[in-house]
Every structure is written in structure tokens, then in C-alpha cells.
Structure 1
């Protein structure tokens, strides 16, 4: 995806900067900015949508320069104050404002910025560089040191353009990826390449990096207002949240699902912008498609449905791994191949990333029981064990069998150690809030969301400063199982509250107990059709239309997709890398393809990791596939 790349302390940095920029340029029409000085070489690749003016932008005496990826909102009053103090914002965009705010306030400039951004400010007089990201790390920023040279980029692959950087696999990241389906803390798959934590300021000065937090999730656990108070204020803050994100003369759209978050966004956008394009993807006649169509019809949007072909992953998996640096499982790549088509209609797409987790609590159909135990955990050791159980449900089964004996000895204890490290960062007292903190802090960067920006920009109302601050006041018990979320939707849009919620089959306006029954019915139905497939060895197969995809069955039934998985997973190159138990992987593929048992999640994880290895380690493969 586009973003910022750079090098510090390298006198020959110009050519390397060009290579780094080229590595994140997926289309010839991308716009490129660069600066090469005696100490800093920095560049930006962008779509020309947000802050399209050339960068860097300098202050009046050109002692400070700024590169910015992203945007900030609601700063008219601050801008006026800066101008009254003599600052001249000649460009007048977000980056220009942030540069002068830094000049006025120093490193505290970032504390109250509301937006999605990575900012790099270089101070040539004082031989200093400052990097700041938004509160929720909506835009990743990776960094590494190679000798006396410091490298940074919005994508890991740009750092690897330094051919003298020694590639070594981070075993903790591998363990996390397979155990939890996400990488905890600030690791990547490479030793020595880290990702900047959320709400951080990083400073390079005198040949050293230093990093500190300027904000953290601070649950207001002593608040005890009425449910009505929370609902009223959530609606008020959310309306302002959407309003501030409507800035600019852009074509705007929404990824519309059968859930609650996207319908809330569309309902508020319709008050400020017309026309609104909405996009839904999935299986024909699936729950997501049918519910999204009802929402679109109710609000009068220009709606477009993309029916996913069963073999789309065979075409899109490699691109998805490139765009996500391999840190998102390919089973979440449903929309990767649709980005170009969406870009025909919109410049910016809104989506509900995080809202379901923030407002609904970290719960889902399959592990509500564990979350109930989490809420009652008496001490941190019990809590850690329960969070580990819950995270493991997202990962692959039987890691001790999947990995070779020698490699499993290296990684077997790493997932628990990684979780303990993550828990040390948590400041909340309530066990439910501690669990939510772990997920909020770590999940965003391993979601596929940033990859959207390879073709369109995105806006994420669920991660608005004021909206999150309001949610942090709500007791865990009200957020648990979407209790407050249903009330929020009913207050926000009574009409949309009458349309069913995909996860339960009942409308938000329905009594709460019906949603619990609906979850049970849907989970039981999914279990039934899976069992029917395995018992009959695939002779009877009922399509799964509850979610977006049915990978388990598609990779069995579609010849192209089946060949794609088998050709990669059973390739000698894959099996001989030393990570996995060769006979177990062969049996895993055979068992799944014969419908004896479902191992789609495991096969997708293996495929993702192998494609990452080929794209990022195997230079010959990389060159032959990019020629």
C-alpha cells in the first residue's frame, strides 16, 4: 500500500530511497514525493486523494520539513490560533497544519490530533527526526536498524530493499500467527523489524531511537451512569464523528455488510452526502448480501453486490500477502480483488473496523462461554489462561503435530510468553477490559484494512478519538454481547433497527433473549452442515450462506482452487523448509479434501505463510513473478 519510506544516516541514500518507493508502488499512476538531504532521505507514495499537494512541506525558514500519510480532522480553531501567533500556513492542508503545530507545541503537538496518520518531521538544524502515529495505529509504520543506517517504511518489503539487511525469521511472530491468527506486541515475521506501537512518538537524535506513548486506552471503570445516558451520548458523539469525516470534495462509499457497524455509518452519512455508494461481497443469496440489500434500499444508496467466485483466492492470495506483508491470513482476503472495481465509483470508502469489538465487547458466537469466565476471573493467572484459550480458538489446531519436532521445541512456549508480555502493558483493573485491551491493541495492524489504501483511501469512524473515549466510560457488562450496541442502533436509526442482524437473524429492536437464541441456532446450523459433509464424505453438502465465504467446501469442490492449494502446500519446497511435519501436512490436505474433517483454517494459514516465504525470502520466485 502507499505510504512513507525513509533512511536516516546514509550518505548514499538516494538510490536506496528510489528502490524503497518503487517497492510500494503497485500502479504506475501513483504519485511520488521525495527529499534527499545530508542526513535524511524520505519519500511518499500516494493516491493523490488525501493531502495531494507535494511533500515535504517546510516551515518559513525551511528548518523543519514534514511528510504525512493520512489525515486529521477538526482543527479550524487551532489553525486560527496558530495564525494569530504569526504562523503562515501557505499550503493550508493537514500536513502544513501539523508542521506548524509541532513548531508551536513541540512533541506534545500530537496528543489531541484526531485522525488516521503517520507523520515524519525532520529538523535539519538539530539533526533530529520525529515520527508520530494516530492513537490506534490505523496506518502501520515499520522500522529497523542495519549497522549505522536506520530504515523505516509503511510496508516491511520496503525495508528489505536494503540488500545488506540480514533476513532472519522471528520465531515468536511465527508462533503467534499460527496460535492466534495475529501477531502480538510489535513483532513482524522478521527479526529486527518492528512496528511502531499505537499512539507513539519516536525520536531519532544523536544516532539513537527513543519511543514513548502519548496516549493509552484508559477505561473509566468508576463511571456508573444509566444505560440511557450512555446511549444518548454515544449517538451524539457518533453523529459528530461521521460529520467530521465527511470533509473534502470526494466520492464516498461504504463497505456494507449484514452487521450493525456499517448500517450505522451509512445512516449518518446519508444526512451529509449524496449519492452514497455501498458495496457488499459474498455468496449469492447469502445472509450478508440479503441484509445489506435491505439496508441499502431503506437508505436509497447506489448499491453494488460482488458475488465471490469460489476460486477467487487462487487469483488474489499472492496480491493479498504482498499488501499485508503476510501478517493477515488469506481467508480474510475476500475483497482484495475488488478494490479496482470499487475505485471506479469512489475515492474514499468508510468501513466499520473495530466498532463491533469496541461496542460489542470481544465476543463472538463460538466463545461467549469463555468470555463469561473472563468477566469473573479472580486473578491475572486465571485471566491469562482464559485469554489464551480464547485466542487459541482463532488459531490452528494441533500445533505440536503440525510443526516438526525440532521447530516445535523452539516455539512451543512462545505464544504464552507473547501473551504475558502483552498483558504487562494493560492498565485496566476489570478482567473484561484487560481482555479487550489485548485485542484492540494487537488486532488492528494484522487486519486487512490497511491494504485497501492501495487503490482507495479509507475512513474508520469506529476509531474516532471522542467516540472511543465515550466507549471507555461504558461498563463491560453493558458492552458484553452487544447489549449497549442494540440500544445504540435503536436510538440512532429506528428504521434500520428493524432490519435483521446477520449474526443472530433478529433485528436489533427484538428482545435480547431472541438474539441469544439466534446465535445458538446459527452456530448449531453451521455445525450441522459441517458434520453432514464429513459423515457423508461430501456426498451431501449444503452450502454455507451465513458468512461471506465457504472456504472449507470451495477448496474441495472447485478444481482451480483445489489445485492451487495442493500445488503449493504439497510442493517439496514447502515441505522441506524445516518448519512443518511433512507427513502431517500431507495427511492434513488429504483428510480435508476427502471431506473427512474440516481443516480449511489450517490450510489457509499454511498457504499464507508459504506465500510470504516465497515473496519475501525467495528472491528468484519474487523476480519471476514480478517480471
Structure 2
């Protein structure tokens, strides 16, 4: 295991297996007692500097622009340093989210292009993206793959607002849930702190899909727990050492580690040169200075936009319907109201898969489009060849989804895995019964 933020030196002398590790940086949370406004000012200044250092006059830039705030802060930073990026919004139809994104582009006179997904978009994405997957996310998280040709012909470099929410909204931290039954559920805007390693592991894990249950000799929780150790105050999570449980929780799903899905970012990089202004060492250091309260309730992204571009801050957020310049409390209530309206009240959309947000309703898409069923059937021999998959339970999972269960995660995990070239190599290994080729177990695959 190579430690992050370190230099590893391996001796090349014959018979000498010595290895030295010089760890020059590790994430340490040292919050300072400052106001929300102070951190917003710092964020605005640092992301503006990052934009200035990553742009020049000879390059054509693009930006994937949503109706939210992370990409809008990127737009504000680019505009503030004189970089006029072409903006692109990807959606199934011209819904509320698309209209807000268009308004944001028009507010700073940026060129705006609407890129429309059709019903077969996700099926085509499945046919192409798993070939570059690294087990770091679902196939559909390579968000712009269907528009590669258009983007490559228009721009040299594509920016996204990726990781802004993880760094400056604390959306990955555990929060107390509130379940209102048929009315829906939501999380309270405060951290539900992990006090023990067991609570940390519980936060980091989900149940295995049913089609793996019989193959696993232990639960996902137990498998994960076996790879987390405590050395005094320090926590070692799958070989990566954190100063304390505080750092392990705070940084477990941030871009500092591989502990979260990163295929949106990695997949976009496979299309054309791309990146996000939020992956900057100065911004990560700022993140580690900010108290949890400011991360969760400080409204830092919105405040930073207001510093750089009051015109952009005057436009509503696509999810809350509230202008970004307003306080956090108003946005939180607006988010609850929007969620209730979209989930509980009648709404006019072109199809069941269509929503008023940036993403399709994948649960309904699976029910209305045959691409998941076709992928499962096409790979029946492969599923049967792998000892950790159950053909019968795969079908039960799919049929249960058609009858109303939400098995999007399990089904998208499965079809992404089935389409990955490495999976066919694993299956081939199962059928090779020589002493030199040991069988791959489900535990080894999960770990």
C-alpha cells in the first residue's frame, strides 16, 4: 500500500528489499475560530487564484454548468479573471434546472449550449464507459460521455464544479435522518458524530446486493471492519493512516482518498483535458481549517459566489428556488419545499424518467427501457461462470425493482461490472483449473 502524501523509495540493490516511506503530508483538522464570512472570503480569493493559474488567453475553455452552486462558483471565478468559458448543460429536457443554468450563463454573457439526452443515452453510455472504469463508480457517472465529439470540437479544456460540495458543504458527513413515512425523509443540517470505530464503519458501509449474499462468508460491514485498525488515537483505514477518528470521518469521502465514487471526475478526464478548480492544495488546506458548523451550515459556496459575482448570486439555486445571496436557513427550507413538491405533488414532465433536476429518474428508466434486462441476458453465461454471482438472485433483484423496489444501486453496480473487460478475465480464470491459477473468491474481489 502506497501512502498518500508520501515519497516511497525502494532499494534497487540485488537481494535488498528495503523500502523507506517519507510521509510529508497528512490531513489534520485544525479548525480556527472564525466567522462564516471569513471562510467565504478565503474561499473566493483562493478559487479566483486557482482560476488565474489554470487559464491563459490561447486556450478555449468549457464548463459543465448545472443549476446548482458548485459549477456556478467555478463560472464566477473564471469570469473574474477574464476567462470567458463556453458553458454546457446536460439534461433530458428544458426543465427548471436547465432554465436556471441558462439564466446563470446569461447573467455573465457566457455562451450557453443545451445538450439533450434521449431515452437511449444511458444504454449507449453503458456500452462505452465500463471499458475505462476503475471500480470507482457506476457507468452513468461518466456524465458527458455521449457528447464527447461535440465538446472536443468546441473546447480544449473542460472544467467542472466537482468536489465543491464535499469540501465546502460537508455533504458527506453523517447527519441525523428524519423519516416522515409517505411524506419523505431528510437529514438535519448538523453532524451526527462518529464516536467509535464501529460507528465509522457503519457510516462507510451498505448491505451487499442480494445476489452476493450467499457467496460472502462475512457481511460487508465485517469485511470493511477487518481492514480498519486503531493505533492509539490514529485510525488506519485500508492502509491509509489518519491522525484520529475525526480525520478519518472528515476525509473518508473527500478527494484526498479513494474512499468515494470518483468516476464522474475520472470519466470526464478520458474525454478531453478537464479538471476542477476545487482540487487545489490551498483549498484543501482551507477545508481542513474550517469548523464542522461552517462546513454544514456556513453557506460558504453561495457566499463566495456573492463575493465574486453578485449577478450570479442573485439567481436562484435549481434545487431550492432561492437566490444564492440568501442565508443558509432559507435555502434549507427551500430545499425541503422543493423536494416535497417534486415527490408528492403532480408534475408535468415529458416521461416517467424525466425530472426537474439535473439527473433522470433512473429507477423509472430501468422500468421503461430494456437496456438493463438486455445486459443481464447477454451476460448470462458470464454470471453463471462467476461463483460469487447467483443467476436466480440477479433476476429476482431485477424483477423486484420492476414491482416497485428501488434497486438502482444494485443493478447499476452489476451491469457496470459485467461490461468491464476485467470481468471476462476473472470469469475465464474460474474455468481454468490448473494448479498455477487459483480461483478468485468473492471476498478477494470485494476487498
2:354 corresponds to 1:546: no
2:282 corresponds to 1:439: no
Aligned to 1:557: 368
Describe the shift of the 1:310–1:499 C-alpha distance in structure 2 as closer, same or farther (beyond 3 A).
Answer: same
Supply the distance in 1 between the matched residues of 2:218 and 2:271 (Cα, whole angstroms). Answer: 42
Aligned to 1:456: 272
Counterparts of 1:123-142 in structure 2, within 5 Å, are none
What SS does the aligned partner of 1:349 have? Answer: strand
- How far residue 312 of structure 1 moved from its aligned partner, in angstroms, is 1.8
- How far residue 437 of structure 1 moved from its aligned partner, in angstroms, is 1.0
Counterparts of 1:293-442 in structure 2, within 5 Å, are 293-363=102-172, 375=191, 377=193, 379-381=195-197, 384-385=198-199, 387-392=200-205, 395=206, 399=209, 401-409=210-218, 413-418=222-227, 421-422=236-237, 425-428=241-244, 431=246, 434-440=248-254, 441-442=257-258
2:432 corresponds to 1:596: no
Supply the distance in 2 between the matched residues of 1:479 and 1:368 (Cα, whole angstroms). Answer: 18
- How far residue 444 of structure 1 moved from its aligned partner, in angstroms, is 6.3
Supply the distance in 1 between the matched residues of 2:136 and 2:412 (Cα, whole angstroms). Answer: 12
- How far residue 343 of structure 1 moved from its aligned partner, in angstroms, is 0.8
Identify which of structures 1 and 2 has the higher relative contact order when contacts are C-alpha pairs closer than 8 Å and 6+ apart: 2
- How far residue 198 of structure 1 moved from its aligned partner, in angstroms, is 3.2
Bigger CA drift: 273-282 or 206-215?
206-215
Counterparts of 1:41-56 in structure 2, within 5 Å, are none
- How far residue 309 of structure 1 moved from its aligned partner, in angstroms, is 1.8
Root-mean-square deviation (CA, aligned residues, Å) is: 3.3
- How far residue 256 of structure 1 moved from its aligned partner, in angstroms, is 1.0
What SS does the aligned partner of 1:448 have? Answer: helix
Aligned to 1:577: 386
Supply the distance in 1 between the matched residues of 2:331 and 2:50 (Cα, whole angstroms). Answer: 28
Aligned to 1:609: 417
Counterparts of 1:191-340 in structure 2, within 5 Å, are 196-206=2-12, 208=17, 210-221=20-31, 223-247=32-56, 249-340=58-149
Supply the distance in 1 between the matched residues of 2:155 and 2:357 (Cα, whole angstroms). Answer: 28
Native 8 Å contact 1:278 1:304 kept in 2: yes
Supply the distance in 2 between the matched residues of 1:265 and 1:231 (Cα, whole angstroms). Answer: 14
Aligned to 1:567: 377
Supply the distance in 2 between the matched residues of 1:567 and 1:618 (Cα, whole angstroms). Answer: 16
Q: Which runs of 5+ in 1 are unaligned?
A: 1-185, 187-195, 533-539, 621-627
Describe the shift of the 1:342–1:542 C-alpha distance in structure 2 as closer, same or farther (beyond 3 A).
Answer: closer
Native 8 Å contact 2:66 2:98 kept in 1: yes
What SS does the aligned partner of 2:107 have? Answer: helix
Native 8 Å contact 2:9 2:20 kept in 1: yes
Native 8 Å contact 1:490 1:497 kept in 2: yes
Describe the shift of the 1:206–1:406 C-alpha distance in structure 2 as closer, same or farther (beyond 3 A).
Answer: same
Native 8 Å contact 2:202 2:221 kept in 1: no
Aligned to 1:472: 288
What SS does the aligned partner of 2:88 have? Answer: strand
Deviations 1:416-453 (A, max 9, x none): 33455428722257x4x542211112346733312323
- How far residue 462 of structure 1 moved from its aligned partner, in angstroms, is 0.5
Counterparts of 1:612-627 in structure 2, within 5 Å, are 612=420, 613-614=422-423, 616-617=425-426
Native 8 Å contact 1:367 1:390 kept in 2: no
What SS does the aligned partner of 1:305 have? Answer: strand
- How far residue 477 of structure 1 moved from its aligned partner, in angstroms, is 0.6
Native 8 Å contact 2:138 2:413 kept in 1: yes
Native 8 Å contact 1:283 1:289 kept in 2: no
Describe the shift of the 1:398–1:459 C-alpha distance in structure 2 as closer, same or farther (beyond 3 A).
Answer: closer
Aligned to 1:105: none
Supply the distance in 1 between the matched residues of 2:73 and 2:194 (Cα, whole angstroms). Answer: 36
What SS does the aligned partner of 2:4 have? Answer: coil
Supply the distance in 1 between the matched residues of 2:90 and 2:336 (Cα, whole angstroms). Answer: 25
- How far residue 541 of structure 1 moved from its aligned partner, in angstroms, is 4.4
What SS does the aligned partner of 2:158 have? Answer: strand
Supply the distance in 2 between the matched residues of 1:376 and 1:305 (Cα, whole angstroms). Answer: 39
Supply the distance in 2 between the matched residues of 1:198 and 1:248 (Cα, whole angstroms). Answer: 34
Supply the distance in 2 between the matched residues of 1:350 and 1:510 (Cα, whole angstroms). Answer: 26
Native 8 Å contact 2:87 2:111 kept in 1: yes
- How far residue 361 of structure 1 moved from its aligned partner, in angstroms, is 0.8
Supply the distance in 2 between the matched residues of 1:548 and 1:469 (Cα, whole angstroms). Answer: 31
Native 8 Å contact 2:353 2:361 kept in 1: no
Supply the distance in 2 between the matched residues of 1:378 and 1:364 (Cα, whole angstroms). Answer: 10
Supply the distance in 1 between the matched residues of 2:354 and 2:173 (Cα, whole angstroms). Answer: 22
2:332 corresponds to 1:516: yes
Deviations 1:107-163 (A, max 9, x none): xxxxxxxxxxxxxxxxxxxxxxxxxxxxxxxxxxxxxxxxxxxxxxxxxxxxxxxxx
- How far residue 492 of structure 1 moved from its aligned partner, in angstroms, is 2.5
Describe the shift of the 1:412–1:260 C-alpha distance in structure 2 as closer, same or farther (beyond 3 A).
Answer: closer
Bigger CA drift: 499-508 or 256-265?
499-508
- Paired residues, number: 405
Native 8 Å contact 1:359 1:471 kept in 2: yes
- How far residue 479 of structure 1 moved from its aligned partner, in angstroms, is 0.9
